[in-house]
A and B are shown apart, each in its own frame.
Chain A
């Protein structure tokens, strides 16, 4: 396979908190290739957003936050970059949209000014050219009256409109990777459908890669080529979207898929996963899912499973995959 665009290599992130060390992300490895859509899926606290933030250099500095491993963009290890070296990368190579567009935009600058900012910094356009480009971008994200919207301020726009503006800013410098962290979670379902549609069209038109962070399996199934399932800071399973939905190997992935009601397919009871996610302050040294796992064996309480290939496109981290060990 050709050189990946981004490679996470045993990324670990620890936060120092008053209650102790929170192990937010542990030994996370996966790659994103050019033009590909990768979804990272998991519940709150599983480390999916922290993984994405490490790509943007947005994690707090040491000693509050300790990083391990590497995140490579080409040959460069992003985790070793000094703060000044991030500026030319952010927005140009990697752009990001967040869950809450209202808090990600500056309330005292007009939408047009915020759209022009990366164009002036990264592409050195003149003011007039940047304005023209800003209008064109707003048209590209499906905004009907671009001049009027460019002149308005974030509080004057609805959530769906703001998320379109965020996307316009994100694609303004033609990034090679767009990170979307729960981009539609704050939106209503009919507006969500519009934004997902738009995201897909923008990706097709530009060929950029997409790293989608979400808890919604429906969105994963619609948007992703490959899926990374995280639990308690670790990757528990990864594979093509079809692998994950058709032949999930890890008991957590299986549980997650079974715990949502499926429209049109009625069951009396949902197969709920018992118990709750362990705290990142007190993660066990063995499999973190063992206490909730319906198939757990004594071996699962003894050591940490490693990711292993279950087919040439799929990997899972579960001791039960090795028959002799599970026995």
Chain B
């Protein structure tokens, strides 16, 4: 493992059991995350993209320890996160923060936002009470919030400002990694751009992101590295230039070609996928994408594809790459 590795996820598996029948026995499992491996390097950001049900949110939550993993390993700054005891995990927590999609749902409605931002600093003993206000105001300023916002309640803010509060709260602890789960999806276009620029500023200051999103244009804008998920597995990953410039997996190609481009003269070959993603409770045998793949062969329906390395850092889970 090289020195610049901040987060290394190896063979991560997370299944959610399904119960049924009169006895309430386990009848199956939603295979939300199945053998997922990736690395987030210091000072870089990884975009995890995929459609609903692909498991990208579950990956983020399992990485943070909000879900227990079923198998695999999550190493953060060299520590095996799921093997740490409570006290050690608590010491590491400030380093690893989360920004949610819906900032209103993640803020305590009865807490003034200044107190909400400062709460974690006090809890972790990272700042003496006398210096707290100063410190919180500095963080708020770096997120574009003024002193007048300190004593307001979450409901007094617009969606974009609330997301700034959510980011300030994560940022107050000076984390090395922020897991951001669809942080701009609930915002209007003009406000999205403001928040995306704020993320770009934070990256300049050395914060790494695991950026979970269905919006490929935003991921391409913000992330140096990209991983594409389909039905619980990463089907392709590599640098931004590799995945967006030379996509190799048929799903990545279809996904990229499906984004509407804001240019009335753009003429593109569009790969319109047939059908809909199967349920992760009952994924297809062989390659999970073969039911919708325009290039599927007989082999794809029966044999599970392995990960092929097609270039340095560029990996594809597809038989066609063999």
Chain A residues at the B interface, C-beta cutoff of 8 Å: 43-44, 158, 160-161, 188-194, 196-197, 215-222, 241-242, 245, 255-257, 259-264, 266-274, 276-277
Contacts and interface: CB of A to CB of B under 8 A. Distances in A.
A193 B272 contact: yes
Contact of A44 (B188, B221, B263, B277): B188
A269 B276 CA distance: 35
Nearest to A215: B189
Contacts of B193: 259-260, 270-273
B158 interface: yes
A257 B190 CA distance: 9
A274 B263 CA distance: 24
Given A255-B190, A261-B196, A263-B217, A191 B276 contact: yes
B188 A218 contact: no
A43 B258 contact: no
B226 to A, nearest CB: 12
A193 B200 CA distance: 30
Contacts of B161: 276
B182 interface: no
Given A261-B220, A261-B221, A270 B262 contact: no
Give the 8 A-B CB pairs with smallest separation, nearest first: A218-B260, A272-B193, A259-B193, A261-B221, A188-B51, A193-B258, A43-B188, A217-B262
A277 to B, nearest CB: 7
A256 B254 CA distance: 27
Nearest to B192: A259
A276 B191 contact: yes
Contacts of A272: 190, 193-194, 196-197
Given A259-B192, A260-B262, 15 more contacts: A158-B276, A189-B214, A189-B216, A190-B273, A191-B276, A193-B258, A193-B270, A221-B261, A221-B262, A242-B265, A260-B192, A263-B261, A266-B221, A268-B200, A273-B190
A218 B262 contact: yes
Contact of B220 (A160, A219, A263, A274): A263
Nearest to B188: A43
Contacts of A241: 264
Q: Which of B190, B217, B220 has the most CB of A within 10 A?
A: B190
Nearest to A227: B264
A267 B197 CA distance: 11
Contact of B276 (A160, A219, A267): A160
B276 A196 contact: no
B176 to A, nearest CB: 23
Contacts of A217: 189, 262
Interface string B201-241: 00000000000001011101100000000000000000000
Contacts of A260: 189, 192-193, 217, 262
Contacts of A189: 51, 214, 216, 255, 258-259
B272 A197 contact: yes
Contacts of B270: 193
B88 to A, nearest CB: 39
Given A190-B254, A191-B276, A263-B217, A43 B260 contact: no
B192 to A, nearest CB: 7
B92 interface: no
A196 B255 contact: no
